[in-house]
Amino acid sequence: MIANAGVLAAILLAVIVVVMFAFARAFAQAHVRRHSEFLSGYWVATSKFAADAKLSEFQLFIAPNAAPNAARQGYIIIVDAEGAPVANQAIELRVSPRHSLRNLAADEYCGHMTIRPVDGEELPFPTSLEFAVSVFNGALTLFDKEAVFASLTKDYATTEAALTAYTN
């Protein structure tokens, strides 16, 4: 009888561990999906970043995912402080989120982003960048080990109009 109780306890423990792992995985996938959806929209430079970078405009539109792991469509407009265009082009973005328990706990969404100009023109920043999104602050930062290339905030009203136009 005691041997059977030990086997039953081991089986019960294994079942509990498997169920906890399944719940943790489902939670992590929901977290990534929610943040991936938040990444879609219309982003504009913070006033501090624009002033520091000597820009009058930095606008980035990121379309929703067409399919999991598919490239996203987008558009970027950058204008310098004198009003001269720096970039005004369609882009394609590939987003590779970084998964970690710290990100889940901090409600952050971060990872690697590759940005490719559709027309082949060069971008004024590297095409391979890290990104961090804060849903609480409505912020998106594009950076690498050397510098911050964009500090953006989500423009919710324009996002709504842009996503409606994009999906219709």
Q: What's the token pair of residue 51?
A: 């002033």
Predicted local confidence at residue 69, as pLDDT: 76
Contacts of residue 113, Cβ cutoff 8 Å, sequence gap at least 6? 93, 94, 95, 96, 128, 129, 130, 131, 142
Q: What is the pTM of this model?
A: 0.76
Q: Per-residue pLDDT tens for 106-145? A: 556 788 999 999 988 899 999 999 999 988 889 999 999 9
10 Å Cβ neighbour count for 148? Answer: 15
Above 80 in pLDDT, residue 65? Answer: yes
User: For the chain, which domains are there?
Assistant: 36-167 (2.40.128)
